[in-house]
Amino acid sequence: MAERLRAVAAEVDAPDVVLAYSRHGDRTVVTGGTAPCPATAREELRYEIGSVSKTFTGLLLAVLADRGDLRLTDRAAAHLPGPSGAPRTAGHRRGRHRRTSRPYPHPRPYVPPPAPLPLAARARAHPHRDAITLLHLMTHTAGLPALPRDFYPQGLPRWNTAPYAGYGTERLLDAFARSRPRHAPGSRWHYSNFGVALLGTATARATGTPYAELLARHVLAPLGLWHTGLAPAGPGVDATGRRKDGVTELPPFEAGAFTAAGGVRAAPGDLLTFLEAQLRPEETPLHAALTAVRLPLLRRGLGHRHTHTLTWFQHSAGDGPLYFHGGATLGQEVFLGFRPDTGTALVALATRRHTHASVLARRAYDLLAEAPL
């Protein structure tokens, strides 16, 4: 397997490449890249995992539902306060629940938006928005766009450096209050960072605990993920991302209000531990939640090829399902996947902005789909 991993690593044109593979708990880690080896070994650094962060948020949601802190069927509006902290018109139920199983054509300077209107003037009832549940947010079926409409005017001028950094929770909540989904929740699938970002805020509101603390307490600590977190830690701890040229260094990614959708940083070893927990949930304190996030919830695409669980994309491979998720930030790329039928898991990381020519995710997926040696 080491030879196959090295062959894949050699195909990836990026300054730093890490491939970490596990089969029944036996691990193989291969590193490479076009840049000189950093002072800290590549496999010891933390990497920005972008949208793979959603698998952590989805697991957190499952844990909170299993604990009775909330329900997947809770209306999102009930847990989303206005920018001033006032509850939304849908109200907020306190207490624990019972357990249940293209850029703009003419460049123009960014003009800050006017101050938000009072909540009552903004959050007029809308049947589709008001029917959105936490489950809809997590499974990209809420009818919300990929990003809020007002994200692009402030994000485009710094698209290659920090488009998310200036978009805070106040604006996210205001965008939700103004949203008018075209389709009923649950009727269409559309990938939405907007939705999962709202979910992170909703979990914090429902529990009275910041998202970062919730993640650390209920997911990272129980699984022993001590080299995973949200805040950047600097050189020697975090890998440095590069632009599409593979040379120009980028500052640490700032997710702003989209932390739950793309703000996690993790070391390869932690990511492999995370996947091994998915393979053997009964050996972890999060048995029920880890089992729940593997259950198929919806199918889409030609021939219903694409199956989705609460957190994972799912395809058929060999004698069972292959679960996977990809992600990227402005200067890093990642693929995670695992197969219960073979007991295998694979982490693939690279420090170069994803382009259409990138082969990391494709090669990693193919390697995991093959029969293990």
Q: CB of 197 within 8 A of CB of 151?
A: no
343 closest CA partner among 4, 1, 25: 25
Alpha helices in 68-168 (DSSP H): 119-122, 127-130, 134-138, 151-155
Alpha helices in 232-317 (DSSP H): 259-262, 268-279, 287-292
Tokens matching residue 297: 């919830």
The rounded distance, in Å, linking the Cα atoms of 177 and 174 is: 5
The rounded distance, in Å, linking the Cα atoms of 35 and 130 is: 50
What one-character DSSP code corresponds to residue 161?
Answer: T
Q: Coil, strand, or helix at residue 339?
A: strand
Confidence at residue 158, expressed as pLDDT on a 0 to 100 scale: 87
Handedness of CA 198, 199, 205, 206 (dihedral sign): positive
Confidence at residue 235, expressed as pLDDT on a 0 to 100 scale: 87
* Mean pLDDT for back-to-back runs of 10 residues, the chain (373 residues): 95 97 97 95 98 98 98 96 47 39 35 44 72 97 96 89 92 95 93 98 97 98 98 93 95 96 98 98 98 96 86 94 97 98 98 92 96 74
Confidence at residue 90, expressed as pLDDT on a 0 to 100 scale: 39
Q: How many residues comprise the chain?
A: 373
Tokens matching residue 359: 């082969």
The rounded distance, in Å, linking the Cα atoms of 144 and 60 is: 21
